[in-house]
């Protein structure tokens, strides 16, 4: 999970909000597509929670969902914030398409908003102060943790970010990094720092999936 810096809401959403009786359920077509694309752009193509790739090609080829940090079901304030762009995050489908492809049960390995539902998350990745409280780190097993004990519990109970599907993805990245380091045994500290900087630099507006895990894993080899 990485810090998200919210940008100005897309003009299509602003225009829609000026229409009579506008509601989130009525946000459709080009207006909703504009929101999808704005969220993908400001998040460099990564899910706000698990950091897998999010994308929108068309309605048949997309995995992005719009997540409301303050749930819509949470009293009148939640409803009022359903069209507030600052309350919106771009998230993946939580593994639903993965399960379909692999013919797994629909509720197996689900994460992110698909798992969260109407549960409340205490810290928001698009809030600077909240993000600083998260204190995310990863274990060698590929599990995500937080030094904040309450948020650490939420990573599992609210987002299910240590489901086996995501652990396996992090392990693949770990093994790839180890292979590269084994091949280049004389890699200097400077070269490792350059590698980290390259991972942190968007290419064509995108960051690599799970890049924060990659960065933190490489940092363990810097002395």
How is residue 60 annotated by DSSP?
Answer: T
3-state secondary structure of 85: helix
3-state secondary structure of 8: coil
Going by pLDDT thresholds of 50, 70 and 90, the confidence category of residue 60 is confident
Query: Across-strand partners of 203?
Result: 206
Overall average pLDDT of the 20-27 stretch: 90
Q: Give the model's pLDDT for residue 79.
A: 61
Overall average pLDDT of the 67-79 stretch: 71
- How wide is the angle at C-alpha 123 spanned by C-alphas 131 and 98, nearest 5°? 95
Q: How far, in Å, CA of 158 to CA of 179, rounded?
A: 34
Q: Give the model's pLDDT for residue 196.
A: 96
Q: How far, in Å, CA of 135 to CA of 137, rounded?
A: 7
The helix-helix angle for 189-199 and 211-219 (nearest 10°) equals: 170
Q: Give the model's pLDDT for residue 14.
A: 96
User: How close are the terminal C-alpha atoms of the chain, in Å?
Assistant: 25
Q: How far, in Å, CA of 40 to CA of 16, rounded?
A: 20
* DSSP alpha helix (H) spans, 158-202: 164-183, 189-199
Phi, psi of 67 (to 5 degrees): -100, 135
Summarize pLDDT for 121-161 with one digit per residue, the tens.
999 999 999 999 999 999 999 999 999 999 999 999 999 99
Number of C-alpha atoms within 13 angstroms, CB side, residue 178? 7
Going by pLDDT thresholds of 50, 70 and 90, the confidence category of residue 103 is confident
Would you tell me how many other CB atoms lie within 10 Å of the CB of residue 212?
Answer: 19
Mean pLDDT value across the chain = 92
Residue in this structure with the two tokens 């994460």, named with its chain if needed: 111
* Position 76 pLDDT exceeds 60: no
Q: How far, in Å, CA of 41 to CA of 213, rounded?
A: 21
Find out whether 36 and 59 touch, Cβ atoms under 8 Å. Answer: no
Q: Give the model's pLDDT for residue 87.
A: 94
How is residue 189 annotated by DSSP?
Answer: H
Q: How far, in Å, CA of 194 to CA of 154, rounded?
A: 33
Total-model pTM: 0.93
Q: Give the model's pLDDT for residue 102.
A: 78
Token pair belonging to 193: 């720092």
């Amino acid at each position: 999970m990485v810090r998200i810096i919210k940008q100005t809401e897309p003009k299509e959403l602003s225009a829609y909000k000026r229409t009579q009786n506008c509601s989130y359920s009525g946000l459709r077509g080009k207006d909703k597509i504009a929101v999808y694309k704005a969220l993908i752009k400001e998040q460099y193509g990564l899910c706000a929670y698990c950091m897998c790739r999010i994308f929108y090609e068309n309605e048949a080829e997309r995995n992005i969902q719009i997540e409301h940090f303050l749930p819509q079901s949470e009293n009148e304030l939640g409803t009022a914030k359903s069209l507030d762009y600052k309350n919106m995050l771009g998230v993946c489908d939580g593994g639903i398409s993965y399960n379909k492809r692999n013919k797994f049960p629909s509720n197996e390995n689900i994460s992110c908003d698909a798992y969260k539902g109407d549960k409340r998350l205490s810290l928001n990745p698009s809030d600077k102060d909240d993000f600083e409280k998260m204190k995310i780190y990863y274990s060698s097993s590929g599990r995500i943790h937080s030094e904040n004990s309450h948020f650490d519990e939420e990573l599992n109970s609210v987002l299910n970010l240590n489901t086996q599907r995501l652990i396996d993805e992090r392990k693949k990245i770990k093994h790839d990094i180890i292979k590269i380091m084994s091949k280049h045994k004389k890699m200097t500290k400077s070269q490792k720092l350059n590698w980290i900087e390259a991972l942190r630099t968007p290419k064509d507006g995108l960051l690599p999936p799970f890049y924060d895990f990659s960065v933190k894993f490489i940092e363990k080899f810097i002395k």
